[in-house]
A and B are shown apart, each in its own frame.
Chain A
Amino acid sequence: MQTITLKLKDAVMSEIAAVPVEVDALTPDKLFGKSEAELKAVKVWWGNKQEATGDLFDVSMEGDAGSADEVKIVFEGDLRRVKRIGEGMKAGEIEARGDVDMHCGAMMEGGKVVVKGNADCWGGREMRGGELIIEGDAEDNFCAMYRGEEKGMTGGKVTVDGNAGECVGQYMAGGEILIKGNVDRLAGLSMSGGKITIEGDAELFGADMTGGEVVVKGKVLEMMPSFRFVETATVDGVEYKKYLGDFAMGEKKAKGTLYVR
């Protein structure tokens, strides 16, 4: 097992306008096999300039890895303007100690990302596999598609311990999302597959849904009017009202399922 600790230097965020750092080049699969000197030389975007990792982060490495699966990267320091943590990663583990900026875990294919804080918008965007855990809150468009695309998350497993913003799982086509808190409006918008479980409250979820499943265990603040009640169903020993929809998409396409209390 190898642990790479990357602590963002205080100076990087010391300007009045904190210029974001994009770290999609710093994933276990991309850093596996690199020496400390090689790692420090990896280029990352800082605003519109490419800088060496060693110039922006204090780097330390411990242990050895036989494959990318055995590499763990720990991000430390003020990560509020650090974007694309774990974007596109295929294996290994990333732990971010603090709040992170947008696109955390976007397009992940494998491995595991744990954020010990909040994640800004577009976390888990177009995720294909692996596991993403946000121990705080997630913002808007969590596990959604890129703007304009017709598919969002297609695989993997995601857990948010806190609340999530608008449009969780927009255009979701596969995978599983568990939100332990509340979600803002339009969870599962245009969803075609996969499963979203919301333990807290939710509002206007499932709009334009053509497949997949949304389970809301808390309060339904407002229900989409275009779903039809089917039956009362028991899931994991709890009784739910089962709805089908969204009929706004036409009779044939209304294959989405909602379970509400």
Chain B
Amino acid sequence: MADGELLIKNGVVYDPINGVNGEKKDICIRDGKVVESVTNPKVIDAEGRVVMPGGVDIHAHIAGAKVNAGRTMRPEDERKGVEAKTKVCRAQSGYSVPNTFATGYRYARMGYTFVMEAAMPPLLARHTHEEMIDIPILDNAAMPLIDNNWMTMEYVKSGDTDLLAAYIAWMIKATKGYGVKVVNPGGTEAWGWGKNCNLNDTVPYFDVTPAEIIKGLAEATEKFEMPHSIHVHGNMLGHPGNFETTMDTYDVVKGIKPYRDRPTMHATHTQFHSYGGTRWGDFESKAGAIADYVNKNNHVSIDLGSVILGDTTTMTADGPMEYSLYQITGRKWTNHDVELETGSGITPFLYSAKVSVHTIQWAIGQELALLIKDPWKLCLTTDHPNAGPFIGYPIIISHLMSKKRRDESAESMHKAIFDRAELPSIDREYDLNEIAIITRGMAAKTLGLHEHGKGHLGVGADADVAIYDMTPEERDAGNIQKAFLNTKYTIKSGEIVVKDGEVVAAPPGRTIFVTPECDDKLMDEMLVTLKDKFDKYYSVTFNNYPVQDAYLPNPYEIKAPWRSS
């Protein structure tokens, strides 16, 4: 946090959480926070440029065992984007799986100041936190995977939601996590048996269905005043015809009463779940059906998982999906099992504009953004690095803002885009306010972080500000893309970290974690079962399992009390 005062003058401010839509407005900053007024500030003259709150990424894979395995298995990716150290920056490498330093600098240069690591295997939480310590500038948090977990499935089977709640409370506290992440519920466990699961299949041995797991975890999560709902990567990701499964998954949590006014499920990287057809040959977009569902219902929020063309590294706890992908490409592949908890797979992938399926996938991500009427229902992501690296966000922004740009791109792509996708027929263009919603406002709100200073510029908010080198009148897609790739200024906690696209300071970020609070008696009852699991099956002991405080040198705690009603 920077001491002293800062005044940003003459900026055109987009702060959708506070209803500020392109107003010429000064922003006053003192001691890392936005304040009413300042007396003797250092002045930045924004000269009519676009000013937004620091960007908030709701879903990216930036730290941990899986990301690092991706780096290790792809030296050919690390050689892309090599930059020597400078007086401020440490050495950088990588494109789709950049090193920790590059991750921090590149996000900051795009005006982002918070990123959620989307999948933390609980047993390997220390590794995730170690890497988050090494990611400069960005505030961060991580969501532990709790869905393919034996304890979870046993409590879902017995129907004891309170004990399940106690277990997720213990797990989130033990891993210094943020909320409940679900990835191919039941399917990743089934993969240990060489199988996969659809929503209503029975998970081998545990005799529960993925639908029951999702419902159980949603109910357990809502026992607390959790800032974020369950965060769901559903079943059948990436399979032709999966859009029905996707909508059935949304239906599972319909009717569960959320803690306060927010959805009960965040459905992530929805592009991968909006597929029609029966096989790759008749693969088509069903973004329209998904958008229709989201338009009509309020219990689900989504993020896009939009495709960036080119080479990337896919990585997910969805082990069977990665194996299917590897069967298609024949490129290298690795696979991992995390004891009683989860698993993962990694394989490189090339999204090519010459391939019909990839072209349709590319269209679907943008169709979702354009067909869902209310931008307060979605966040911009690429599921970095699965649909493409985060460094491609400005490409997506420029496409959403320019029909002309989309038409030009479609022209050079596989012609399947014209008959098996809707994108070419959509005229809607995003304005800057809507871009601010899907890249900061909505992401912060969905995570509940707007109450902790993220995603807006109201008095009391964190002084995280992005000043883009463009005026609100800019219509040229190329200039828009350029402006969103490298800010004029990025300010993090009141400190100028990027100036004219160059990183000028790299302070450490904070790690935000949630502490769900649960009745001692309930916790003790749960611990009897859990300690038995540790004694019988885990490779580590119960006492050695929780992440120590030393792994969070800059912690920020959000308490989540048990709900009274």
Contacts and interface: CB of A to CB of B under 8 A. Distances in A.
Contacts of A148: 73-77
A148 B75 CA distance: 6
B279 interface: no
B74, B75, B76, B77 interface centre (most CB from chain A within 10 Å): B76
B79 interface: yes
B175 to A, nearest CB: 31
A147 B93 CA distance: 15
Contacts of A147: 75-76
The B interface is mostly helix, strand or loop, or mixed, namely: helix
A251 interface: no
Nearest to A45: B84
Contacts of B331: 150
Interface string A148-167: 11100000000000000000
Nearest to A50: B84
A77 to B, nearest CB: 26
Interface string B59-78: 00000000000000111110
A253 to B, nearest CB: 10
Contacts of B75: 146-148
Contacts of B76: 146-149
Interface in A136-192: 146-150
Size category of the B interface is under 10
Contacts of B74: 148
Contacts of B79: 146
A146 B75 CA distance: 8
A132 B331 CA distance: 31
B107 to A, nearest CB: 25
A47 to B, nearest CB: 12
Nearest to B72: A148
A148 B73 CA distance: 7
A148 B97 CA distance: 14
A148 B76 CA distance: 5
Contacts of A149: 76
Nearest to A253: B330
B346 to A, nearest CB: 13
Interface string B70-95: 00011111010000000000000000
Interface in B275-334: 331
Nearest to A151: B76
Nearest to B74: A148
Nearest to B91: A48
B328 to A, nearest CB: 16
Nearest to B85: A48
Contacts of B73: 148
A127 B74 CA distance: 21
A81 to B, nearest CB: 20
B102 to A, nearest CB: 18
B82 to A, nearest CB: 12
A251 B356 CA distance: 28
Interface in B327-344: 331
Nearest to B73: A148
A12 B75 CA distance: 31
A146 B73 CA distance: 13
A148 B331 CA distance: 11
A80 to B, nearest CB: 24
A33 B376 CA distance: 59
A148 B94 CA distance: 13
A50 to B, nearest CB: 8
A60 B77 CA distance: 39
B99 to A, nearest CB: 15
A250 B75 CA distance: 27
A17 to B, nearest CB: 21
B230 to A, nearest CB: 37
A186 B76 CA distance: 21
Contacts of B77: 148
B185 to A, nearest CB: 33
Contacts of A150: 331
A147 B75 CA distance: 6
A210 to B, nearest CB: 11
A146, A148, A149, A150 interface centre (most CB from chain B within 10 Å): A148
A146 B79 CA distance: 9
A48 B79 CA distance: 17
A147 B73 CA distance: 9
Contacts of A146: 75-76, 79
A28 B331 CA distance: 38
Interface string B383-403: 000000000000000000000
A150 B77 CA distance: 12
Given A146-B79, A148-B75, 5 more contacts: A147-B75, A147-B76, A148-B73, A148-B77, A149-B76
Top 3 A-B residue pairs of the complex, sorted by shortest distance between their CB atoms: A148-B76, A148-B75, A147-B75
12 contacts: A146-B75, A146-B76, A146-B79, A147-B75, A147-B76, A148-B73, A148-B74, A148-B75, A148-B76, A148-B77, A149-B76, A150-B331
